[in-house]
Structure 1
Amino acid sequence: MAKTSTKRSTILIAILTLFSAVLGFGRESYTAYLFGASSLTDVYFVAGMVPDVIAGWIGYTLTRAIVPSIKKEINNKGSSAKLISATFYITLITSIVLSIITFFSKKEILSTLASNFNEVQYSVGSNMLGIMVIAIVFSSLSGVLWGIHNAYEEFSYPALTGVLYNLLFLITLVLLQRWFGIYSLAIGLVAGGIGKFIIQFVPLFKKKILNLRFRVWHTEMPLVFQSMIPIFLSQLVGQINQVVDRIVASGLPQGQLSDLNFASKLGMLPISLIGSSIATTIYSRFVTHTLEKDEVELKRLISLGLGWMCFFGIVIFSGLFFYKNTLISIFYYHGKFAINDVFLSAKPMAVYGIFSTAYLFVPILIHFFYARNEGKFVLISSAIAVGFYVFTSSTFVEYLGIIGLALANGLSQLIYVTIMYSTMIKRLNWSFRSSIKSILNIGFPSGIAFLIGVVIVCMTWKEPELGNKLTITIRGALGLFAGCLSVLIYSKLNPNNPTCTFVLNFISKIQTLTRRVLSKLKSKLLGYGS
């Protein structure tokens, strides 16, 4: 597979993830239209977490553990195909076993996650989870295939997984909701999981990187398993956060768990997409430069990655905080989703915006330590952050409602980032002042320029009636335009800033492409005229 530059790969992933985000918004919006924020959607959001958590144990853990081993096999001209085949079958067998266990334990799992559900909710949840267990196998395999593609520095197919997942989920929902009702959500989740697997499996199989010859062992497997242990434990500790979140939220008044979920899906989607896009392209480079002990290049990559995260953190904050009601209204306020749900969902989304930069820093820092095979440290840091969340979430919810969960989550992520960042700069003999200056110089000025443009529109044009979607959409688009214009003006004034350089180069390429298209159109029109 051909290697691509970090910048080119990031742009490719960003474009694909943007398309995925649009489809994801459509899926979530249609779900809100069909079912609103109700007791049954509460059930779906609790049950749907189970396959994600279990698949994460396998797919996420093996993905992070296997990339360094595959890279080493490739660099040493070794047989990476045998290692890949063994990993594939180990994942397949393990995920099938866990799917069967989950199927026969679904009632116990639901009673643990949501002790406040009534009999109808337990019955519906058990049936939904019985369908969703199929997704555990395909999502686990998809996670491992993601790691294989990234080890070969092929990022397009993994980036397409979100597109296919959301597309198949949405199509399934449209076609089946009339006959299966709330259960169409469970079927859609399975369809999306199968799509994620197929889009990655086919190219690997065609290029003979993955063959189906059965094997469950390779000489690198002991090192992979050794690397997996701390990653698995850190993933498990991190998922306690999700479990506690659902347990605490299940005690909220009916429908508020769904309100919180809609807010987190919309608020966290740009955070997760941008964070994973940049972290994914940087991870394999982290591994390479760590093996080469090139600290200069590591510092450059970290500065670039976290600098961009700083910029996007301010951009996301601008939207989620100042246009929270507008965003919720545009995507969710229709069908069975009531105006009261708009205001309930908007409050925690604003909190996600406040902590957006901390959330964005996490994937970069985690991948730095995984590249160094220091998963134990990630585990310890994660345990401290989750411990804080566990001890504070119920208290925060008692006094602040669903805002309390978002606040506790954001503060725990801030603690997580602080611990990892301070340790990272020590590992690299990098002073705090120098590292912060390097990061802020890249992303902070442009981010503030964007914020100023957004705030100007927000303050001069007061929020109109939320039911008038055309007006609030125009107001939101104008805020986005003002933010981008502010960044462009700053870029012209300070063209040497890395973010500004990227913006100016991007605009230059758009102008060149536009001229080429217009030139071809002109030549064709003249040809027809003659």
Structure 2
Amino acid sequence: MKKDSIKRSTIIITMLTLASSILAFGRESYIAHSFGSTSFTDAYYVASIVPDMIAGWIGYTLTRALIPSLKKEISNSRESSSYLISTSFYLTLFIAAILSIVAFIYKRGILGILAPDFGKLQYAVGSELLGIMTIAILFSALSGILWGVHNSLENFSYPALTGVFYNFFYLVSVVLLQKTFGLYSLAIGLVIGTIGRFAIQFIPLLKSKMISLKFRIWHNEMSNVFYAMIPIFFSQIVSQVNQISDRIMASGLSQGQLSNLNFASKLGLLPFGLIGGSIATTLYSRFVTQNLEKDVPGLKRLVTLGLGWVSFFGIVVGTGFCFYNQTLISLFYYSGKFTIEDVFISAKPLTVYGLFAVIYLFIPILVHFFYARNEGKFILYSSAIAVMINVCLSFNLVNYLGIVGLVLANAVAQLIYVIILYYKMIKRLQWSFRSSIKELLNTGALAGIAFLIGVSIVSLAWPQPVLENKLAIALRGFIGLIVGCISILIYCKLNPKKPISNFILNMLNKILGFIKGLITR
């Protein structure tokens, strides 16, 4: 398997994640159109978090702990690294199978904890849906460990394809099975999607003989992996308290609001996986390598590159969410059983995501920085603080602000989390706060502010059209985007020596040169 270059890797991951996101929105739009926001879709969305939540205990934890050890084995011996991969795979298979069986047996109890305020019929339907989706625990956990293997080998294409396969099989299954199975088609589609996500990663590793069908019991490096897993495991559980507490409190809201929260979150959190997740995934293996080599200047350059660019994208995305929240919800979801009232309810949390967009984008890069240093304990302590803040704020805000209160509480908790991680990171790199912020501003944030100014002028001068007129609201959003991009170009022309200016102007010249070449042929 050939390694991908860092530039090529970022482009591949971003494009494939974008394709995955388009499919995901197609799926969510279809669900909104066909099922709307009801007590039963609320039950589905509560039950649907369980497979990835439980799979994360083993898949996510083992993946993050495995990568540093696997990187060392890859540099030493292909045979030994293959042995370690196979051992990790079969260990995950064994534990995940047990978790799947336990979750199926205790499905009613699990749903009762997550949604104590559900009605009897709602609770019964949710339990049946969860029973179907427990199968997905096995494939989600295995997908997680294979994701780590591919990234350790620096083959980023296959992990990036997981979202495409997952959302494609999920969407097609729901479309084909809806008439026969109704709401249960959502649970069946989720299971089929996780199988597709697993297959696209497993088959290439099997063909390259990096995974052996021969059962592997133990590898000497596993003791180091288990030791590294301990703090990551507990930090994963702590972080999941956020999801559990949010679902518990949201289950008491009026019917459909939990579904509205899901639709808003799918849109609001999309850029954070598309941008922050893509960049963090590419940088993680480099973080590990630079830490092994104790290259502090190299780490500074990587951190500046990653955080500087997500600062730019965070401001751009946040601007769109703040000024065009109703427009975005209407364009993606407003049809069929998804009503005008649903648009207004779902649009409000989007504003909160916009205000805190940069914060959410910082998280994956900062977390991967510390995991690369085997400092999982610090992530555990920091996330515990954030979770306590989130639970306390959610309990107080949900009664006054509904689903907006849940999103705002989580955003404030994540802000404090990022402050703690950022402060510790600059101390590790012997970097002053002032100089680090200056680097981030020069790398990307100032260009993002230029975009903010341009879009705000258009949005304030052009009032929101009637939501039924999708052509008018799309045109308003498009004009705002064009003016924002022009503002970025003006900034780049005025500051051509800035890193982001150099990149954007070079890309623009290449595009214009390509167009000119087509015209002159």
User: What's the CA shift for 1:204?
Assistant: 1.2
> Are the aligned partners of 1:295 and 1:428 in contact in 2 as well (CA < 8 Å)?
yes
CA distance in 2, matches of 1:191, 1:485: 44
CA deviation vs aligned residue, 1:235-286 (integer Å, no higher than 9, x gap)? 1100110000100111111111111111111111112221110000000000
CA distance in 2, matches of 1:505, 1:168: 38
The residue identity in structure 2 corresponding to 1:5 is: S
> Are the aligned partners of 1:21 and 1:270 in contact in 2 as well (CA < 8 Å)?
no
CA deviation vs aligned residue, 1:181-205 (integer Å, no higher than 9, x gap)? 1111101111110111111111111
Equivalent residue for 2:2? 2
CA distance in 2, matches of 1:453, 1:187: 45
Corresponding position: 1:444 with 2:445: yes
CA deviation vs aligned residue, 1:355-411 (integer Å, no higher than 9, x gap)? 111111111110011011000000000000001111110111112111110110000
Q: Aligned to 2:269, what secondary structure does the other structure show?
A: helix
User: What's the CA shift for 1:440?
Assistant: 1.6
User: What's the CA shift for 1:3?
Assistant: 2.5
Where in structure 2 are the equivalents of 1:101-500 lying within 5 Å? 101-500=102-501
Q: Aligned to 2:216, what secondary structure does the other structure show?
A: coil
- The root-mean-square deviation of aligned C-alpha atoms, in Å, is 1.2
User: What's the CA shift for 1:513?
Assistant: 4.2
Equivalent residue for 1:507? 508
User: What's the CA shift for 1:15?
Assistant: 1.0
CA distance in 2, matches of 1:197, 1:20: 15
User: What's the CA shift for 1:517?
Assistant: 5.4
CA deviation vs aligned residue, 1:169-218 (integer Å, no higher than 9, x gap)? 11111111111111111011111101111111111111112222101210
CA distance in 2, matches of 1:422, 1:442: 19
Equivalent residue for 1:19? 19
User: What's the CA shift for 1:515?
Assistant: 5.0
Equivalent residue for 1:66? 66
Equivalent residue for 2:88? 87
Equivalent residue for 1:76? 76
The residue identity in structure 1 corresponding to 2:510 is: K
Aligned residues: 520
Q: Aligned to 1:115, what secondary structure does the other structure show?
A: coil
Equivalent residue for 1:525? none
Gaps of 5+ in 1: 523-530
Q: Aligned to 1:48, what secondary structure does the other structure show?
A: helix
User: What's the CA shift for 1:489?
Assistant: 2.3
CA distance in 2, matches of 1:188, 1:495: 49
The residue identity in structure 1 corresponding to 2:77 is: K
TM-score by length of 1: 0.96
User: What's the CA shift for 1:514?
Assistant: 4.0
CA distance in 2, matches of 1:518, 1:229: 60
CA distance in 1, matches of 2:195, 2:165: 9
The residue identity in structure 2 corresponding to 1:367 is: H
User: What's the CA shift for 1:9?
Assistant: 1.3
The residue identity in structure 2 corresponding to 1:294 is: D
CA distance in 2, matches of 1:292, 1:414: 31
The residue identity in structure 2 corresponding to 1:55 is: A
User: What's the CA shift for 1:494?
Assistant: 1.7
User: What's the CA shift for 1:227?
Assistant: 0.5
CA distance in 1, matches of 2:124, 2:470: 37
Equivalent residue for 1:55? 55
The residue identity in structure 1 corresponding to 2:38 is: S
Equivalent residue for 2:41? 41
Instruction: Identify which range, 510-519 or 251-260, moves more after superposition.
Output: 510-519
